Every structure is written in C-alpha cells, then in structure tokens.
C-alpha cells in the first residue's frame, strides 16, 4: 500500500550452543541474529504494535500487515533464527527469539503495548510464548538440552490475537501424515487399506466413520514409531560419546488428510480437492511437505505429538491477557475446530471469538474479508484502550 513506511529491524543477542544448528551467520559465532520489518503509516502512534512471528516463515508479504498498518496500527514482522528453514527448528529457542523481539519493541522502538498477532503457525507460538512469559517453567528442550526460559526474563505481551491459527505443528502433522507408509526408507511400500490417493482404495468421500477412525489411529501410530526411532538414535549417539551429536532424516508422504478430499470432515467453506499448498496428492510426496526434512532434536520439539510443548490448546490455559480469536470461514489449511478449541481453553477473562465468512487462509483474492479482519482488530484494540 502506498504511503506506508518499511523500516528494517535487526536484533542480536548472545547465546551459547553445543553445536551450530543454522547455516551461516544467523545463529553461529555465539550470537543469534533476527531480521524483520516494521510496517507503519507516517505519524502512527507508539501506543500499540502488533508483533507477528512464525516459527519458520516470514510474514511481511501477507496482506494483513500492510492493511493493519494502513489502519493506523504498526506491525512488526520478525523472522525467527530458523526463517525459511525449519529443519533444525527448536520451538523453545523460537520462544527466546520472540522474547528478544518483544523486548526490542518496548525498550528500543518505544511501543507502550505489544500484542502478539498469531497467524497460522504463529498462533501456537504466540500462546507458547505468552504462557512461558507469564509462568516460566522450561529449563531444557524435549531432547534434554539446556535452554533457560525460566531465567530469560521474558516480558509478557499485553494481548494475543489468533487468526487463521492451528493448534500446533505436531497436531497438524498427526492429522496430515500418510498412514499407508510401511517402510520409512521406502515410501513406495504402502498399506493399500490406507493409501488415500490410490485409485484402488475401496472407499470414497464421504468416508465411513469406522474407516476414518482406523485411519486416524494409523496416523498416530506412524508418528509415534518415528518418534521412538528418533529417541533411540539420540540415545545411541549419546552412548557413543563422540563428536557426532545430531543427525538429519527425511519423512516421506506427510499430507494425506482425508479432510482435504471430504468436505463433511470438520466442515467449513474450503474447496474440496485442494489445500493451501495446492493439490494434496502432489504435496503429499513433494519436497516442501510438512516435516519433510528434520533433525532428531527438532522432531521432538516441533513434530512429536507426545513431546512438543508448543501446543496452542494446552498453552492457552496458562495465559491471562486479553485474547481475540478470528476463524477464517473457508480456511483451506487450518482445521475448522482449532480456533474454537484454543479460545475455549484460554484462561483469559477477556476473550472474544469471531468468524469471517468465506475467508480463505491467506485472504487470497479477498479484499472484503481482509477489511473485515482489520475492522475486527481495530474495534478490539479500541475496546482494550477504553
């Protein structure tokens, strides 16, 4: 949008690590370097800023940040140390990154209030951060490595907005992973009864309830098999006592959620036969699939359903600040129940839930729903300020 200012923001803080986990300068040399953009209109107030961070993506190119900025609300879009590469991502370290951004927004940029704008995967991150900022408990990662969130001095945000947000990366993977894979080293070895995209599958949408329940159970079982292998490998590396501390691996076929082919599952206005990444069958085996490449430690922190702590529904119970939750009525990425589940769980006494009818995940080609979102956020901020 014309007339907006885009200020490059760079944040650096010291951190020691047992080994380098990000490529290049961003997370090596004993320091973490974060980059982002502050988007604002000329003369905008420093009363409130919306902080947008995603565990592994950058958000400044989404339509919402400039739309909010044009309405008078500055938006600070920051990338974590793992921006655009979640292979080695540790959610607990992303919490520390977000903490550095909240502190920078208040102490350097001079904003009175910081509101976490949790979009998509940023929703569970925002709730994870806020829960630890209000009640810090974590001193190590799920793999047992030290990470001092208790001693980090995290500054609690002044509010949280969840928009088009899912409960967690681990919850998504549980719902999306292909349960037909028999051999993790050979994705062509598959169980026909659960090979969702095979022409020979004896079921078509709407899928029978008993088959769907068995399918979901098989998804969970595969996820836990991978986790067990991850833990065994980590234990083996530790027993060896050598310089090999970590290992990367591939998880094949990770987008086979029947929901994308059957509109009766968690119904909303999404298109059937497509998802936010395109054709589900293509994404299932493509190189950009969820959790396609991972390290052992990263798997436990962000993808393991039993070990990841970044669960939005669980973390929401630990927050007390005002909460605005916005569901997109035609979301083609986030399961329809997720926003409502996090909203219901939230410990906030002041909380609101709204649905924007027909809004897809990214507001792609949707200026009217986009403005509806801006209006909801603007009205909410006005109520918080009164």
User: 5-168+308-385 — its CATH code?
Assistant: 3.40.50.1820
Q: DSSP secondary structure string, 71-131?
A: TT--EEEEE-TTTT--TT--HHHHHHHHHHHHHHHHHTS--SEEEEEEETHHHHHHHHHHH
Domain ranges of the chain: 5-168+308-385, 177-303
- HEC-encoded secondary structure of 199-221: CCCCCCCCCCHHHHHHHHHHHHH
- pLDDT of 27 reads 57
Closest C-alpha among 163, 166, 165 to residue 380? 163
Long-range Cβ pairs for the range 196-199 (8 Å, 24+): 196/256, 196/258, 196/261, 197/256, 197/280, 197/281, 197/284
> Which residues have a Cβ under 8 Å from the Cβ of 235 and sit 6 or more positions away?
none
**Closest by Cα among 197, 370, 384, 375 to 275:** 197
CA distance 158 to 175: 32
Per-residue pLDDT 10s for the chain (386 aa) are 669 999 999 999 988 776 667 766 555 567 899 999 999 999 999 999 999 999 999 999 999 999 999 999 999 999 999 999 999 999 999 999 999 999 999 999 999 999 999 999 999 999 999 999 999 999 999 999 999 999 999 999 999 999 999 999 999 999 999 999 999 999 999 999 999 999 999 999 999 999 999 999 999 999 999 999 999 999 999 999 999 999 999 999 999 999 999 999 999 999 999 999 999 999 999 998 899 999 999 999 999 999 999 999 999 999 999 999 999 999 999 999 999 999 999 999 999 999 999 999 999 999 999 999 999 999 999 999 87
């Amino acid at each position: 949008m014309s007339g907006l200012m885009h200020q490059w923001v760079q944040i650096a803080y010291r951190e020691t690590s047992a080994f380098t986990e990000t490529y290049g300068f961003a997370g090596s040399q004993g320091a973490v370097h974060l980059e982002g953009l502050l988007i604002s209109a000329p003369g905008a107030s420093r009363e409130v800023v919306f902080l947008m961070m995603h565990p592994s993506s950058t958000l400044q190119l989404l339509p919402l940040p400039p739309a909010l900025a044009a309405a008078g609300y500055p938006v600070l879009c920051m990338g974590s140390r793992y921006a655009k590469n979640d292979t080695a991502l540790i959610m607990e370290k992303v919490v520390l990154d977000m903490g550095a951004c909240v502190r920078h927004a208040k102490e350097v940029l001079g904003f009175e209030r910081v509101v976490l704008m949790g979009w998509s995967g940023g929703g569970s991150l925002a709730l994870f951060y806020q829960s630890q900022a209000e009640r810090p408990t974590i001193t190590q990662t799920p793999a047992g490595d030290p990470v001092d969130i208790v001693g980090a001095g995290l500054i609690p945000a002044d509010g949280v907005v969840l928009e088009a947000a899912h409960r967690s990366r681990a919850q998504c993977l549980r719902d999306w992973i292909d349960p037909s894979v028999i051999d993790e080293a050979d994705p062509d070895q598959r169980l026909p009864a659960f090979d969702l995209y095979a022409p020979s599958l004896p079921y078509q949408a709407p899928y029978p309830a008993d088959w769907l329940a068995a399918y979901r159970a098989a998804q969970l079982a595969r996820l836990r098999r991978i986790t067990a292998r991850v833990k065994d490998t980590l234990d083996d590396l530790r027993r060896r006592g050598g310089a090999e501390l970590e290992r990367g691996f591939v998880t094949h076929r990770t987008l086979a959620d029947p929901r994308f082919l059957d509109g009766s599952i968690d119904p909303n206005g999404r298109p059937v036969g497509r998802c936010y990444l395109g054709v589900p069958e293509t994404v299932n085996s493509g190189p950009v699939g969820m959790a396609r490449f991972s390290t052992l430690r990263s798997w436990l922190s962000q993808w393991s359903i039993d070990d990841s702590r970044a669960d939005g529904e669980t973390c929401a119970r630990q927050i007390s600040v005002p909460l605005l939750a916005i569901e997109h009525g035609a979301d083609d990425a986030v399961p329809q129940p997720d926003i409502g589940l996090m909203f219901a769980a939230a410990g906030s006494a002041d909380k609101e839930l709204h649905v924007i009818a027909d809004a897809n995940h990214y507001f792609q080609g949707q200026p009217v729903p986009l403005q509806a979102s801006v209006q909801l956020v603007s009205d909410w901020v006005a109520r918080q300020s009164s």
